[in-house]
Chain A
Amino acid sequence: EAGVTQSPTHLIKTRGQQATLRCSPISGHTSVYWYQQALGLGLQFLLWYDEGEERNRGNFPPRFSGRQFPNYSSELNVNALELEDSALYLCASSQGPGGETQYFGPGTRLLVL
């Protein structure tokens, strides 16, 4: 069984540009979570999607947005990139919402110059 996949593995952008990160969950999983791991800040929750709907959002500005498609894959968009957006972005999926084991993808490393 394939695990959670993310693309691209690395992404280099300049300040002010937009970045799009993609995630495919494990087959049968309906919930997708996005997390940011910035250097020195630890892992922080960004967004939770379940059954195509945004269920919860972390303490991030509106320029962080996303969506979940009918096949449960998900996209994270970061607009007007700032230098401090440089981080590892991790996607995770679970079979159901809340309290379930979350399976993590390998992450996308975003570097903003």
Chain B
Amino acid sequence: KNEVEQSPQNLTAQEGEFITINCSYSVGISALHWLQQHPGGGIVSLFMLSSGKKKHGRLIATINIQEKHSSLHITASHPRDSAVYICAVSERAGGTSYGKLTFGQGTILTVHP
């Protein structure tokens, strides 16, 4: 079992739809990250969360530390949102950070006009 699990793996939506991508993790973390990767390969950091909820434009990210679960929501989806969305965690054990990110498998989102 992977330490970070994302669902769904593939998601197709019509423009304007509300989209949710889920992420569960099984390790101790100091933060959870949502990343966006476009076809050219470049990765952009969307959110870093350690608790609660963050919002940026049409994107909302939430995290439940007790349940070890996070969601990324996209409101009023648009074709330009089409990309791979990746959940990643910064692992921590006790007071020690491992520095590295551990990644989920990614969710391929396609939004049709």
Residue numbers of A with Cβ under 8 A of B are: 31, 33, 35, 37, 42-45, 48, 50, 55-56, 58, 88, 90, 92, 97-104, 106-107, 109
Question: How big is chain B's contact interface, by range?
Answer: 20 to 34
Q: Which residue of the partner chain A has the closest CB to B40?
A: A106
Question: Is the beta-carbon distance between B41 and A33 smaller than 8 angstroms?
Answer: no
Q: Which label, helix, strand, loop or mixed, suits the secondary structure of the B interface?
A: strand
Residue numbers of B with Cβ under 8 A of A are: 30-31, 33, 35, 40-45, 48, 50, 86, 88, 90, 92, 97-106
Question: Is the beta-carbon distance between A56 and B99 smaller than 8 angstroms?
Answer: yes
Question: Is the beta-carbon distance between A98 and B92 smaller than 8 angstroms?
Answer: yes
Write out the residue numbers on chain A whose beta carbons fall within 8 Å of the beta carbon of B99. Answer: 31, 33, 48, 50, 55-56, 97-98
Write out the residue numbers on chain B whose beta carbons fall within 8 Å of the beta carbon of A97. Answer: 97, 99
Write out the residue numbers on chain A whose beta carbons fall within 8 Å of the beta carbon of B92. Answer: 98-99
| Of the residues A37, A55, A88, A102, contact of B101 by C-beta under 8 Å | A102
The distance from the CB of B1 to the nearest CB of chain A, in whole angstroms, is 15
Write out the residue numbers on chain A whose beta carbons fall within 8 Å of the beta carbon of B31. Answer: 99
Question: Is the beta-carbon distance between B106 and A90 smaller than 8 angstroms?
Answer: no
Q: Which label, helix, strand, loop or mixed, suits the secondary structure of the A interface?
A: strand
Write out the residue numbers on chain B whose beta carbons fall within 8 Å of the beta carbon of A88. Answer: 41
A92 to B41, CA, bound (A): 13
Q: A42-B105, A50-B99, A102-B101 are in contact. List 12 more A-B contacts (CB 8 A).
A: A33-B99, A48-B98, A56-B99, A56-B100, A90-B43, A97-B97, A98-B99, A99-B90, A99-B92, A99-B97, A101-B33, A104-B45
Q: Which residue of the partner chain B has the closest CB to A31?
A: B99
The distance from the CB of B52 to the nearest CB of chain A, in whole angstroms, is 16
Question: Is the beta-carbon distance between A104 and B42 smaller than 8 angstroms?
Answer: yes
